[in-house]
Amino acid sequence: MGSATAPGATATTGPALLEVTDLVKHYRIRSGGSMAHSGPPLRAVDGVSFRVAAGETLGLVGESGGGKTTVGLSVLRLIRPSGGSVTFEGRDVLAAGRTEMKALRQRMQIVFQDPIGALDPRKSIGDSVGEGLRIQGLASRAQSHQRAAEVLDRVGLTAAQSRSLPHELSGGQLQRVGIARALALDPRLVVCDEPVSALDVSIQAQIINLLLDLQAERGLAYLFIAHDLALVRHISDRVAVMYLGRIVESAPAGELFDNPAHPYTRALLSAVPADHPAAARQRIVLRGEIPSATAPQRGCPFAPRCPDAMAKCSEETPEFKEIAPGRWAACFLND
Amino acid sequence: MTEPLLSVEGLRTHFFVDAGVVKAVDGVGFHIRRGEVVGLVGESGCGKTVTSLSIAGLIESPGRIVEGSVRFDGTELVGASERVLNTVRGPRIAMIFQQPRASLDPVMSVGRQIGQALKSGTGMDRSARRRRAVELLDRVGISDPDRRVREYPHQLSGGMAQRVMIAIALAGEPDLLIADEPTTALDVTVQAQILELLRELQSANGMAVILITHDLGVIAEIADRAAVMYAGRIVEECSISELYDAPLHPYTLGLMESRPAASRSKSRLRVIPGSVPVPLDLPVGCSFAPRCAPRVESGLTVCTEQAPDPVSPRDGHHVRCWLHG
Amino acid sequence: MALEGPAALTERAASSRGPAGSGAVDHHRARGAKGLWRRFASSPVAVVGLVLTVLFVLVAALASYIAPTDPFSFAGTPFEPPSPKHWLGTDDLGRDVFAGVVHGARTSLFVGVAVAGASLVIGTAVGGVAGFAGGKVDDLLMRFTELSQVLPRFFLALTVVALFGPGLRNMVIVLALTSWELTARVARSGVLAVKELEYVTAAEALGSSPWRNLRTHVLPNTIAPVVALASLQVGGAILIEASLSFLGLGDPNVISWGYMLNNAQSFVRRAWWMSVFPGLAIAVAVLGVNLLGDALNDFWNPRSRTSGAPA
């Protein structure tokens, strides 16, 4: 789908804050030696389109190797996509010059999965949180520390903790720091890449609440990347399901979970462990695992594992199209 | 009632480090009957992995079992000689782990690794072992086992490697399988496959399973009973249906309620305040008291003074909590 | 394997994010500098190295106070054996051997530190840029590094001194230009590992330029093993300086242990003290800095042992 009708457009009223069209990221795999000799490319992201409105949460789910993280990093131009376009607040992110990009970075931020790995072990918490303000020339060192203390206070940490080094805090506290760092620049969009999956169960809920509160206060938009479906359902307005570098289905969260349209979504949902031992469920156990994204493919990428595959599925690739207002899917079963 | 297959009593495993004594496991007791699946649930640092390593006699310096007993089918394992342990660990108590690929030897073929497990115990010769390895791979649902048996760990996907680990564990036809977060590193569709496999093997072989996990959903899928651990102790132990329908300990309740529910999208979740205590610096009294909202409401003061002993308000339902004692 | 490989199991237990493991480690690390010092001090080798190195540096720094006599002045009669007046005796021209040994420490320390410092700076710059930039720049710089690595430093130094005349400065320049390759390799591999870490990406997301990222996040987190490696080169440089001076290619205007040994050659039987004391000084100084360097290396980079220490 080329132009103005990016999927999910109808589900939101406001203009898109972020619009991603036909995003592609191929990796050339160097096979041995330093001289460039490349095999088939790894198609980490293979034509992904979506939009996120201001103040909205788009959940991006799927299994590992599906390309979720690559999408998140590409949106922020932390890796260079091979094709497609990313438009944020009407500006072309991929074509932005150095100065424009630096300015854009104030408006779009990221929170990582591994709270300890996302913080420089040698820098104090306050230093890390205030770093963005200093880079952007918005504050002197002293001012940035003042501002960092305010943001840390907002995420539930004390002024004393701002002088700590990362290893002195717990995982949950560190993730609060990661969120504070992203917030310090007062962004409009935050990419949350598995922000709670490294945390203990009792801590996850605290962080999710914090993210919800901040969204309500500041009108933040989230691109929420996760593999935990219950969590994604809880926090998202809309959800997009990725499989092998493509979005196979997107819909408002409730509809997608209650009435999935794509067989992969159905399988994914049925694989989620029961939330009660008595919840007898019809389980669709998929054969095999996600294949490598380097294998040349024809037809629907999910066809080899699909319990409902038809002859046509291994011949033609189904188009990702609107099957009902606000609901998009790439599957012949919906024709 | 017949004697349980495994009974752990008053187990204390402490780690003696420079900074002090880490009481990783501090008074754990439970029983497992033959063919029973018990889930050991808890967050990181609660002592669930150390408990399982203590059972298998795999605690190494600076750790030590300072007290308690682990009886497996009539044999005391605490303080047993390495020779006795070797007759039990492996053939009769097998283990699988979270990172299957890290537990496999990267330079040895899958067939040889299974063969090694067969060597200790059975008197099979080489070709018999190879045939049995193929059978076992087939048994754990690996397609084309004749080819896979010659492959090396790096050629396997995560789910496949976990299946191989299970095949190795099954080699001795164990009475007890200890599975430590066996599906945590796997994708959800693969997790479903592995849980299905474990359930099927368990009922076919009548093997008992200790499933260690932080994921209550996994427990709901597969366990008969559950033991919830917090700060080195089992705070609640009961049947799986009681765990879900009538949990007694405030910590268990907190874990249950903090899960996102479909009906309350975008609303704040219930949370357990605070964080898991550092095992070096456990609070006096009940370890959960500082995070316990019901304690504050009830106005109990004993919680911060004395650690509660397990009580059984219902048959087969044990809980360590002053609110019920 | 899972069954009969308790080693594998316990290894996992040790590395697991489980209770004892993480709690203990976190707490240990939380002690910061004090904990680091304790870990360091727990190795006797490290302590011996540190004590000898401190001694060496003190002697060099306080040479004029310890031995006020000018090492080139004729302080006594020739070939005086050790005595209360001349603790280590005098040489063939009546110069005080003690003063020579003490002042020679300055020369050795200067050469060692200058060469190691230069190796640190050049190696970090080349390796850091190569690792951080990657691609063609990396290929080019690393080929260049390999080229410099095949140059035999001792004979190169010999040639330069023979061509341009003996002089401490020439020697230091030649040694510095030939001792940075290994430092560059270690710096590069460190940078390669660190630049992929999320905190570097996070800084980029905040608008940090690549150059700023390299300076503020990548290098400070890779420098420790590079410094440890460079410290190992102090000893090597001292030995080469002594060897060249021993061969008569040292700076004749600067007292050094190698120069003293060269001078002592003809009098080994007549005046043993002329050769024994400078020789001991070299041995002790090199042993000290090497032990310290080894300890630092183990401390920061446990894998360095297998990659081989520099000469």
Q: Which residues of B touch A277 (CB under 8 A)?
A: 220-221, 240-241, 244
Tokens at B21, concatenated: 């004594």
Q: Which residues of A touch C204 (CB under 8 A)?
A: 78
Out of 3.40.1130.10, 1.10.260.40, 1.20.1580.10, 1.10.3720.10, which CATH number does the structure's domain C42-302 have? 1.10.3720.10
Model pLDDT, residue A191: 97
* CA proximity to A305, closest of A288, A329, A317: A288
Model pLDDT, residue B117: 84
Q: Which residues of A touch B268 (CB under 8 A)?
A: 209, 212-213
Instruction: Determine contact, residues B95/B56, Cβ cutoff 8 Å.
Output: yes
Model pLDDT, residue C17: 32
The domain locations on chain C are 42-302
**What's the pLDDT tens digit per position in C143-178?**
999 988 888 878 888 888 888 888 888 888 888 888
Tokens at C138, concatenated: 């990396």
Q: How far apart are CA B308 and CA B301, in angstroms?
A: 12
Euclidean distance between the first and final Cα of chain B, in Å? Answer: 27
- Exposed e or buried b for every residue in B19-50, given b needs 16+ CB within 10 A? beebbbbbbbbbbbbeebbbbbbbbbbbbbbb
- Over range C37-43, report the average pLDDT: 77
Residues 27-56 (C) with a CB less than 8 A from some CB of B: 27-28, 31, 38
Shortest CA gap C42–chain B (Å): 12
Model pLDDT, residue A14: 58
Q: Name the CA dihedral angle for C73, C77, C82, C88, rounded to a multiple of 10 degrees.
A: 10
Q: Left (φ > 0), alpha (ψ -120 to 50) or beta: where does A62 sit?
A: left
Looking at the partner chain, which of A172, A237, A257 has a beta carbon nearest the beta carbon of B262? A257
Model pLDDT, residue A39: 66
Looking at the partner chain, which of B254, B266, B273 has a beta carbon nearest the beta carbon of A212? B266
Distances (CA, A) of B55 to B12, B168, B309, C97: 11, 19, 22, 69
3-state secondary structure of A321: strand
How many C-beta atoms lie closer than 10 Å to residue A258's C-beta?
Answer: 12
**What's the pLDDT tens digit per position in C169-215?**
888 888 888 889 999 999 999 999 999 899 999 999 999 999 999 99
Tokens at C222, concatenated: 């890779």
| Beta pairing class for B63-72 and B6-17 | antiparallel
3-state secondary structure of B47: coil
Residues linked to residue B25 through DSSP beta bridges, in sequence order: B13
Looking at the partner chain, which of A109, A165, A167 has a beta carbon nearest the beta carbon of C205? A109
Which residue positions in chain B have pLDDT lower than 70?
1-2, 120-122, 262-263
Q: How far apart are CA C63 and CA B249, in angstroms?
A: 73
* CA proximity to A235, closest of A214, A258, A266: A214
Q: How far apart are CA A120 and CA C221, in angstroms?
A: 8
* CA proximity to A28, closest of A319, A314, A294, A278: A294
Residues linked to residue A110 through DSSP beta bridges, in sequence order: A191
Q: How far apart are CA B241 and CA B248, in angstroms?
A: 12
Report the alpha-carbon angle A229-A230-A235, nearest 5.
Answer: 95
Instruction: Determine contact, residues A52/A232, Cβ cutoff 8 Å.
Output: no
**What's the pLDDT tens digit per position in C101-146?**
999 999 999 999 999 999 999 999 999 999 999 889 999 999 999 9
Q: Left (φ > 0), alpha (ψ -120 to 50) or beta: where does B8 sit?
A: beta
Q: Which residues of C touch A167 (CB under 8 A)?
A: 26, 29-30
* CA proximity to C23, closest of A224, B110, B15: B15
pLDDT greater than 50 at residue C24: no
Question: Hey, are the CB atoms on C6 and B18 less than 8 Å from each other?
Answer: no
- Exposed e or buried b for every residue in C166-198, given b needs 16+ CB within 10 A? bbbebbbbbbbbbbbbbbbbbbbbbbbebbebb
Shortest CA gap B190–chain C (Å): 21
Taking CA–CA distances from B230, the nearest residue in chain A reads A202
Tokens at C230, concatenated: 């460079």
Report the alpha-carbon angle C45-C123-C54, nearest 5.
Answer: 30
Which residue positions in chain A have pLDDT lower than 50?
1-6, 8-13, 32-36
pLDDT greater than 80 at residue C4: no
**What's the pLDDT tens digit per position in C75-98?**
888 888 898 888 898 998 889 999
Taking CA–CA distances from C17, the nearest residue in chain A reads A198
Model pLDDT, residue A295: 66
* CA proximity to B266, closest of A218, C284, A138, A57: A57
Taking CA–CA distances from A72, the nearest residue in chain C reads C205
Instruction: Determine contact, residues B62/B38, Cβ cutoff 8 Å.
Output: no
Question: Hey, are the CB atoms on B24 and C17 less than 8 Å from each other?
Answer: no
**What's the pLDDT tens digit per position in C231-263?**
888 998 999 888 888 888 888 888 999 889 988
Interface check for B200 against chain C (CB to CB < 8 A): the answer is no
Q: What is the 8-class DSSP label of residue C288?
A: H
Model pLDDT, residue A5: 45
Q: Is omega for the bond preceding B62 within 30 degrees of 0, making it cis?
A: yes
Model pLDDT, residue A1: 39
Q: What is the ipTM of this complex?
A: 0.86
Q: Left (φ > 0), alpha (ψ -120 to 50) or beta: where does A33 sit?
A: left
Q: Which residues of B touch C23 (CB under 8 A)?
A: 22, 24, 45, 278-280
How many C-beta atoms lie closer than 10 Å to residue A74's C-beta?
Answer: 26
Q: How far apart are CA C28 and CA B19, in angstroms?
A: 7
**What's the pLDDT tens digit per position in C266-291?**
898 888 999 999 999 999 999 999 99
Distances (CA, A) of A166 to A122, A245, B274, C225, C274: 8, 34, 18, 21, 57
Taking CA–CA distances from B92, the nearest residue in chain C reads C3
Q: Name the CA dihedral angle for C133, C136, C141, C143, rounded to a multiple of 10 degrees.
A: 150
Taking CA–CA distances from C19, the nearest residue in chain B reads B45
* CA proximity to A131, closest of A151, A116, A109, A148: A148
Q: Which residues of C touch A112 (CB under 8 A)?
A: 198, 201-202
Looking at the partner chain, which of B192, B216, B273 has a beta carbon nearest the beta carbon of A285? B192
- By CB atoms closer than 10 A (0-12, 13-18, 19+), residue B123 is exposed
Model pLDDT, residue B190: 86
Tokens at C161, concatenated: 């001194």
Instruction: Determine contact, residues C91/C263, Cβ cutoff 8 Å.
Output: yes
Query: If you count residue pairs, one on A and one on B, with CB atoms under 8 Å apart, how many are there?
Result: 124
Model pLDDT, residue C9: 33
